[in-house]
């Protein structure tokens, strides 16, 4: 009996165990398909750009460098917070540079290769960020309901009584763009900051849009007559819709550029640097102008023939940053 | 054996217990085959369906490759036809007559225009001719840049345009090594869908990616499209593609002569739920089988071990001498037979022992009868009686007294009654001494120290007289006055009879022999031997003579007679 045990049963048990082990292994998801990407040739980009902006740039970057890029896209604040909370990210692509200030401890300074080709008073000399595109505000109006000669040409034209309740404006509590517009009024109208907010707020007559994305549809449909929008958004809208007209402010406009920055202690630093270099390369900057209705930050890229030379107002970005909170509280006081 | 410790202790555990042996055998016979066969069957089923899937995938991938190769080579042919067609392109420029150029373009690309739009671009990307809308392409970007950099090659590349991926095939138009323009065929998603129609079912997904896993073309349910982006993110994180993702089997194959890969997503023929259901069933069967094995092993081992235990206990009792043990067993199987045989065996043994005892008893009776017969001459007694009466009539009183005492001794000996009172025995001894005193002129004295209460106690006859006789025969040769004392004591359990003398004492050797009841050489001591035998036959081996030499000289012989026990007639 014990010999039989030793000879047959113990091996049998062993076989049973092996077989059950084997069948556990053969359950799916074990084997990998022979396709691999060199882990050194990857890059993780967090972007607040829209897909139509980042996709062509990233795909061209992949083709030219052989680096595979993973994109995590979302709203600027959302993406920045994800990075702050320790998301595995190599660089931030997109977002107004005024927002980067609060996240300076996430930033790894880097001066892009062709930084000398970029000329902007907003450039970071220490390489805290690298500019990507220039995004000036323009005035927009409904071409059917407003004659072009009657449309606002200067910032204080919005204070005219004829626009009371007819201005498309998003709630500044929801829209960073709206805060910048408030700051522009405070800075450019020579009537005192508080007065400027109060006067503009009165002009709205309580009509507020949910988000800045609603500004152009509101004017297109005639719900509002005039408004202020980013040039990029307005140009793209007019490509596809007929009823919105664009006016470049005569007394100068405000522009807050967007940019990119390297993230501290990122895993693919070299690739991230290559990407930042690429974002200000002549090819990308030309594409911005040719296909994306944006303005280049490079001196050697001609603006699109469709867009006029722009007249920048004297707008202090540092002041704007410091005053953001105050602008909101002035707004709240005016709307009590 | 080179077995490791755990194996050895495992073997010992199994061998040590019948229950464990049974359990292991049952496991080996039921659990292991079930589990083994079950797992093998599931595995074979799984492998077969997997193979079937791989076959289907390979067939589909081959079809994809084939259709792409047809369209690519067709487009390449069209490009070279147009390049070499003087009515389309000549002298570094396209036909000055636009209508003529268009007609050549349409003619040449006939048969491919369902699959691609064709366009001709100037050196700086201005669209000169197009089978669709005239849309400029940047010459510093994408396909035109690639074509400019490798003007002798046909470039196949995927680009993003208006949030849609477009597969483009481009070739630089050259005039003696100078690039003068580009011919581009663009395949949009709809074109590729048309090209790949019917290859995959609606339940499956097909995904064409470039070497960076960027989507060139994707078709399938929303689910499948989600999995596509998940695959890419996994490739970036882990460096490779999982073969199974979110309930889909994933297959990948490179499309020859391109930098593209075909990925198929397919719901497994044998879904994971089915598979895990099968495994669950197997585990259940296995568990049931184990439980049954345990139950069966327990039942069987109990049905084996209970009778064995009974048998064991019975055997022990037999060892201890109890032959009346019987096993109660109504089973009809081998155990029943075994028990029956055991019972028969003990019965036989019992009978045998009884018979043996019976024989022994008879033998003893004969022995006792023979012993008493030595002292039983009737004739002598009658003669003595005659002498007594003759002496009386002749007024020879001493002779009459002598013969009367001798006759009394003889009568006591002749009497068939084996037991007499202590008083009678003492009388016998006194008579004997009186006779001897007549012979030896009163050399001997017999004293009694017996409580009155013991005189009526019954003892085997003739157990004191031979001791007294022994003293006279051997003890008093050098003694002037031989004094013999018979003492009786009563304890709770026994009567002690002590016969002592003041003689020369016994040799040590003799004492040892008596105390060991070693009567092999009983020469000259036949009387003591008889007494010892009678005592031991009557009261068991614990009884018998105990002899010692007194310190003051003389011998003392002790007889222990158990009191309480009824005297058995052994």
The answer to whether residue B232 neighbours chain A at the CB level (below 8 Å) is: yes
pLDDT surpasses 50 at B570: no
Q: Are B1 and A7 in contact (CB under 8 A)?
A: no
Nearest-CA distance from A28 to chain B in Å?
6
pLDDT surpasses 80 at B370: no
Domains of chain A, by residue range, sit at 40-135+256-296, 137-254+315-334
The answer to whether residue B94 neighbours chain A at the CB level (below 8 Å) is: no
Q: Hey, do A40-135+256-296 and A137-254+315-334 end up sharing a CATH topology, with the first three levels equal?
A: yes
The pLDDT-based confidence of B566 (bands split at 50, 70, 90) is very low
CA–CA gap between residue B185 and residue B77 (Å, rounded): 12
Query: What would the pLDDT profile of B541-550 be if each residue is shown by its tens digit?
Result: 777 888 888 8
The answer to whether residue A6 neighbours chain B at the CB level (below 8 Å) is: yes
A33 → chain B, closest CA residue: B241
Q: Which domains does chain B have, with CATH numbers?
A: 85-194 (3.30.450.20), 200-270 (3.30.450.60), 417-562 (3.30.565.10)
Q: What is the CATH number of domain A137-254+315-334?
A: 3.40.190.10
Tell me what pLDDT residue B503 has: 86
Q: Are A101 and A321 in contact (CB under 8 A)?
A: yes
SS3 B474: helix
β-bridge mates for residue B262, sequence order:
B208, B253
A28 → chain B, closest CA residue: B244
What are the structure tokens assigned to A195, written together?
């007065």
pLDDT surpasses 50 at B568: no
- The beta-carbon neighbor of A23 closest among B7, B42, B158 is B42
SS3 A237: helix
**Most trustworthy range by pLDDT among B124-128, B333-337, B370-374, B376-380:** B124-128
The answer to whether residue B140 neighbours chain A at the CB level (below 8 Å) is: yes
What are the structure tokens assigned to B482, written together?
């031989």
Q: Give the right CATH number for A40-135+256-296 from 3.40.190.10, 3.10.560.10, 3.30.70.20, 3.40.50.1220.
A: 3.40.190.10
Strand order in the sheet with A137-142: A167-168, A226-230, A137-142, A244-247
Contacts of B207 in chain A (CB under 8 A): none
The answer to whether residue A291 neighbours chain B at the CB level (below 8 Å) is: yes
CA distances from A312 to A124, A187, A252, B332, B407 (A): 19, 13, 5, 115, 172
CA–CA gap between residue A223 and residue A167 (Å, rounded): 9
- The beta-carbon neighbor of A51 closest among B163, B211, B251 is B163
Contacts of B244 in chain A (CB under 8 A): 28-29
Strands (E), B80-212: 89-90, 93-94, 117-122, 127-130, 154-161, 164-175, 178-187, 205-209
Query: What would the pLDDT profile of B260-318 be if each residue is shown by its tens digit?
Result: 999 888 888 777 788 888 888 888 888 888 888 888 888 888 887 788 888 888 888 88
Interface of A with B in 45-74 (CB under 8 A): 51-52, 55-56, 59-60, 62-63, 66-70
Nearest-CA distance from B309 to chain A in Å?
21
Tell me what pLDDT residue A10 has: 64
Nearest-CA distance from A329 to chain B in Å?
40
Contacts of A35 in chain B (CB under 8 A): 235, 240-241, 252, 261
A8 → chain B, closest CA residue: B28
> Which residues, 6 or more positions from B173, have their beta carbon under 8 angstroms from its beta carbon?
B83, B89, B120, B179, B180, B181, B182, B183
Tell me the pTM: 0.64
Cα maximum dimension of chain B: 201
Interface of A with B in 196-235 (CB under 8 A): none
- The beta-carbon neighbor of B24 closest among A9, A34, A287 is A9
What are the structure tokens assigned to A124, written together?
């970071």
CA distances from A270 to A40, A92, A285, B233 (A): 9, 14, 21, 20
Kindly determine whether residue A9 and residue B25, on different chains, have CB atoms separated by under 8 Å.
yes
Query: What would the pLDDT profile of B184-199 be if each residue is shown by its tens digit?
Result: 999 999 999 999 988 8
Tell me what pLDDT residue B191 has: 93
pLDDT surpasses 70 at B53: yes
Nearest-CA distance from A288 to chain B in Å?
11
Nearest-CA distance from B43 to chain A in Å?
6
The answer to whether residue B160 neighbours chain A at the CB level (below 8 Å) is: yes
CA atoms within 13 A on the CB side of B444: 27
Pairing of strands B240-242, A32-36: antiparallel
B160 → chain A, closest CA residue: A56
User: Per-residue pLDDT for chain A (336 aa), expressed as one digit of tens each?
Assistant: 455 556 666 666 666 666 555 555 444 433 446 677 888 899 999 999 989 899 999 999 999 999 999 999 988 888 999 999 988 999 999 988 888 888 889 999 999 999 988 877 778 878 889 999 988 999 999 999 999 999 999 999 999 999 999 999 999 988 888 988 999 999 999 898 999 999 999 999 988 999 888 999 999 999 999 999 999 999 999 988 999 999 999 999 998 889 999 999 999 999 999 999 999 999 999 999 988 889 999 989 888 877 888 888 888 888 888 888 899 999 999 988
pLDDT surpasses 80 at B392: yes
CA–CA gap between residue B311 and residue B318 (Å, rounded): 10
Per the listing, tokens 């669950």 go with: B280
Query: What would the pLDDT profile of B522-543 be if each residue is shown by its tens digit?
Result: 677 788 888 888 888 888 777 7
The answer to whether residue B138 neighbours chain A at the CB level (below 8 Å) is: yes
Interface test with A, best of B212, B252, B280 (most A CBs within 10 A): B212
3-state SS record for B236-294:
HHHCEEECEECCEEEEEEECCCCCCEEEEEECCCCCHHHHHHHHHHHHHHHHHHHHHHH
A18 → chain B, closest CA residue: B36
pLDDT surpasses 60 at B366: yes
B240 → chain A, closest CA residue: A36
- In angstroms and rounded to an integer, the radius of gyration of the C-alpha atoms of chain A is 27
Contacts of A8 in chain B (CB under 8 A): 28
ipTM over 0.85: no
Kindly determine whether residue B242 and residue A32, on different chains, have CB atoms separated by under 8 Å.
yes
Of B190, B203, B275, the closest CA to residue B56 belongs to: B203
Kindly determine whether residue A33 and residue B241, on different chains, have CB atoms separated by under 8 Å.
yes
A55 → chain B, closest CA residue: B160
pLDDT surpasses 70 at B91: no
pLDDT surpasses 80 at B16: no
Kindly determine whether residue A52 and residue B163, on different chains, have CB atoms separated by under 8 Å.
yes
CA–CA gap between residue B146 and residue A62 (Å, rounded): 13
The pLDDT-based confidence of B385 (bands split at 50, 70, 90) is confident
The pLDDT-based confidence of B67 (bands split at 50, 70, 90) is very high
- The beta-carbon neighbor of A286 closest among B138, B241, B245 is B138
What are the structure tokens assigned to A321, written together?
């940053």
Kindly determine whether residue B160 and residue A62, on different chains, have CB atoms separated by under 8 Å.
no
Tell me what pLDDT residue B164 has: 86
Per the listing, tokens 């020469």 go with: B523
pLDDT surpasses 50 at B212: yes
What are the structure tokens assigned to A239, written together?
């490509």
Share the mean pLDDT of chain B.
Answer: 84
> Which residues, 6 or more positions from A119, have their beta carbon under 8 angstroms from its beta carbon?
A297, A298, A299
């Amino acid at each position: 009996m014990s010999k039989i045990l030793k000879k047959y049963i113990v091996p049998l048990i062993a076989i049973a165990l092996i077989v059950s082990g084997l069948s556990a292994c053969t359950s799916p998801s074990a084997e990998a398909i022979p396709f691999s990407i060199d882990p050194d040739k990857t890059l993780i980009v967090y972007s607040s750009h829209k897909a139509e902006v980042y996709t062509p740039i990233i795909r061209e970057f992949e083709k030219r460098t052989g680096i595979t890029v993973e994109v995590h896209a979302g709203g600027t604040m959302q993406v920045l917070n994800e990075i702050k909370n320790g998301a595995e990210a190599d660089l931030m692509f997109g977002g107004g540079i005024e927002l980067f200030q609060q996240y300076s401890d996430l930033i790894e300074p880097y001066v892009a290769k062709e930084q000398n080709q970029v000329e902007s008073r907003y450039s970071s000399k220490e390489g805290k960020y690298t500019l990507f595109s220039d995004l000036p505000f323009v005035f927009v109006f409904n071409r059917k309901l407003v004659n072009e000669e009657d449309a606002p040409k200067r910032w204080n034209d919005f204070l005219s009584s004829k626009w009371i309740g007819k201005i498309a404006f998003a709630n500044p509590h929801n829209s960073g763009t709206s805060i910048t517009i408030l700051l522009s009024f405070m800075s450019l109208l020579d009537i005192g900051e508080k007065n400027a907010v109060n006067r503009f707020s009165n002009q709205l007559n309580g009509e507020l849009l949910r988000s800045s994305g609603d500004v152009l549809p509101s004017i297109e449909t005639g719900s509002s007559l005039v408004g202020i929008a980013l040039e990029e958004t307005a140009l793209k809208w007019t490509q596809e819709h007929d009823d919105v007209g664009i006016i470049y402010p005569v007394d100068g406009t405000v522009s807050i550029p967007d940019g990119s920055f390297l993230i501290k202690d990122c895993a693919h630093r070299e690739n991230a640097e290559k990407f930042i270099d690429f974002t200000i390369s002549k090819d990308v900057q030309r594409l911005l102008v040719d296909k994306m209705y944006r303005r280049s930050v490079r001196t050697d890229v001609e603006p699109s023939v469709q867009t006029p030379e722009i007249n920048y107002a004297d707008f202090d970005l540092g002041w704007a940053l410091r005053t953001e909170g105050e602008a909101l509280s002035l707004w709240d006081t005016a709307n009590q | 054996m080179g077995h490791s410790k755990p194996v050895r202790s495992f073997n010992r555990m199994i061998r040590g217990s019948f229950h464990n042996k049974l359990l292991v055998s049952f496991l080996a016979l039921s659990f292991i085959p079930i589990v083994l066969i079950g797992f093998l069957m599931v595995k074979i089923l799984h492998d077969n369906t997997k193979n079937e899937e791989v076959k289907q995938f390979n067939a589909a991938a081959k079809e994809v490759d084939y259709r792409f190769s047809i369209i690519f080579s067709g487009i390449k042919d069209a490009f070279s036809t147009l390049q070499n067609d003087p009515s389309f392109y000549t002298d570094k420029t396209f036909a000055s007559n636009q209508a003529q150029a268009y007609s050549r373009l349409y003619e040449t690309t006939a048969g491919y225009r369902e699959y691609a739009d064709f366009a001709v671009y100037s050196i700086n990307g201005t669209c000169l001719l197009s089978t669709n809308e005239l849309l400029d392409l940047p010459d510093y970007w994408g396909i035109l840049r690639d074509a400019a950099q490798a003007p002798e090659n046909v470039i196949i590349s995927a680009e993003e345009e208006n949030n849609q991926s477009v597969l483009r095939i481009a070739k630089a138009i050259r005039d003696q090594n100078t690039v003068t323009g580009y011919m581009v065929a663009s395949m949009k998603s709809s074109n590729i869908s048309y090209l790949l129609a019917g290859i995959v079912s609606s339940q499956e997904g097909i995904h064409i990616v470039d070497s960076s896993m960027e989507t060139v073309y994707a078709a399938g349910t929303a689910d499948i499209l989600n999995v596509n982006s998940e695959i890419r993110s996994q490739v970036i994180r882990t460096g490779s593609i999982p073969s199974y993702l979110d309930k889909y089997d994933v297959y990948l194959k490179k499309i020859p002569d391109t930098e593209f890969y075909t990925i198929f997503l397919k719901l497994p023929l044998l879904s994971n739920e089915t598979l895990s259901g099968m495994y669950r069933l197997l585990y259940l069967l296995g568990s049931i089988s184990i439980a049954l094995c345990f139950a069966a092993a327990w039942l069987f081992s109990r049905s084996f071990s209970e009778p064995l235990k009974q048998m064991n206990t019975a055997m022990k009792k037999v060892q201890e001498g109890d032959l009346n043990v019987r096993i109660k067993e109504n089973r009809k199987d081998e155990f029943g037979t075994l028990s029956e045989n055991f019972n028969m065996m003990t019965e036989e043994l019992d009978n045998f022992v009884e018979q043996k005892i019976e024989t022994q008893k008879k033998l003893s009776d004969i022995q006792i009868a023979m012993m008493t017969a030595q002292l039983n001459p009737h004739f002598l007694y009658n003669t003595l009686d005659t002498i007594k009466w003759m002496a009386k009539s002749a007024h020879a009183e001493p002779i009459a007294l002598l013969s009367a005492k001798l006759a009394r001794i003889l009568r006591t000996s002749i009497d068939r009654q084996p037991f007499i009172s202590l008083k009678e025995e003492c009388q016998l001894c006194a008579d004997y001494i009186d006779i001897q005193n007549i012979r030896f002129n009163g050399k001997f004295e017999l004293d009694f120290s017996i409580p009155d209460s013991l005189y009526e106690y019954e003892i085997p006859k003739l157990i004191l007289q031979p001791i007294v006789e022994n003293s006279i025969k051997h003890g008093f040769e050098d003694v002037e006055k031989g004094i013999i004392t018979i003492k009786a004591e009563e304890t709770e359990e026994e009567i002690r009879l002590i016969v002592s003398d003041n003689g020369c004492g016994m040799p040590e050797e003799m004492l040892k022999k008596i105390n060991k009841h070693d009567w092999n050489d009983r020469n000259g001591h036949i009387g003591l031997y008889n007494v010892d035998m009678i005592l031991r036959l009557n009261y068991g081996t614990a009884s018998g003579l105990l002899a010692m030499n007194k310190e003051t000289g003389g011998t003392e012989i002790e007889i222990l007679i158990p009191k309480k026990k009824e005297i058995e007639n052994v």
